[in-house]
Amino acid sequence: MLEHEIYALKYAGPFTSSGAFLMWLKDWEKVERRNYYIWCLKGAGETIIVDAGVSPDLAKERNLAGYMSPAEVLSRIDVKADEVRRVILTHIHWDHSSGVSLFPKATFYIQEQEYHFWLKDPIATRPPFMSMSDEAAKAYLASLEGTDRLALLKGDQEILPGIECLLAPGHSVALQAVAVNTAKGTAILGSDCAHIFRNYHEDWPSAIIVDLVGWMKTYEKLRARASSIDLLFPGHDPIMSENYPELAEGVTRLV
């Protein structure tokens, strides 16, 4: 099966918060850091991007510390965002989907249930949910509905040899993780199924939850699929930038 390398690209951060944000209702008194990332899968064929990061407009509006356009970070490893053909969106929270317009030729792969929640369900317009998504990104995705640039997936689905999207709810209604065949076995980009590695190692979720039972089942599923727990990657852990070989500023090779 086709093998891929996995790169983590930091596009903003570090941000600090109470540890209770990263370890659900624990570590209130600790101050913990987190970064914002997109990921890149490179194999023999095309380059696939996982998540779109934040658009320059929203970064300005939210005054994001340490922000660099995801397109700019990709250019450091010779990937041109405006030529990318496939982007997997793990979920529609703003820090993972706001940058969709940076990829004008891409097909976006999203779980249908996730898309329908954010675009069609009135609950998604209530304040706590509204603040978690980006209106411009949702409008951009809505404009692609019915075209071949929007692929709505129903559950687990292999989209290319060695790359499978896995339905992984809990943090969001229908987040998807990405299982990737690598030289070390199956690695999983879990995105915000866990914010940091400790969530998986200590079997303890982070703090943004729509379904805690679903979240625990997702942990079981992802740990069973990854060839080792060290190949199960979280969404925001600064360790992804610190403990892996650096290829360019803000870019590390995870596998």
Binding residues for Zn ion, rule: CB under 5 A, are: 95, 192, 235
Minimum CB separation of residue 206 from Zn ion in Å reads 10
Q: How many CB atoms lie within 10 A of CB 28?
A: 10
Residue (21 or 140) nearer to Zn ion, CB: 21
Residue (95 or 164) nearer to Zn ion, CB: 95
Placement of tokens 């700019």 in the chain: 72
Residue (110 or 162) nearer to Zn ion, CB: 110
Residue (95 or 237) nearer to Zn ion, CB: 95
* Residue 148 in tokens: 């071949």
Distance set, CA 180 to CA 19, 129, 172, 221 (Å): 30, 30, 21, 15
Distance set, CA 171 to CA 125, 135, 183, 202, 235 (Å): 17, 20, 29, 17, 11
Cβ contacts of 142 within 8 Å, gap of 6 or more: 119
Residue (7 or 37) nearer to Zn ion, CB: 37
**What is the DSSP secondary-structure string of 118-151?**
HHH-GGGGSHHHHTTS-HHHHHHHHHHTTSTTEE
CA gap 144, 154 in Å, rounded: 18
3-state secondary structure at position 183: coil
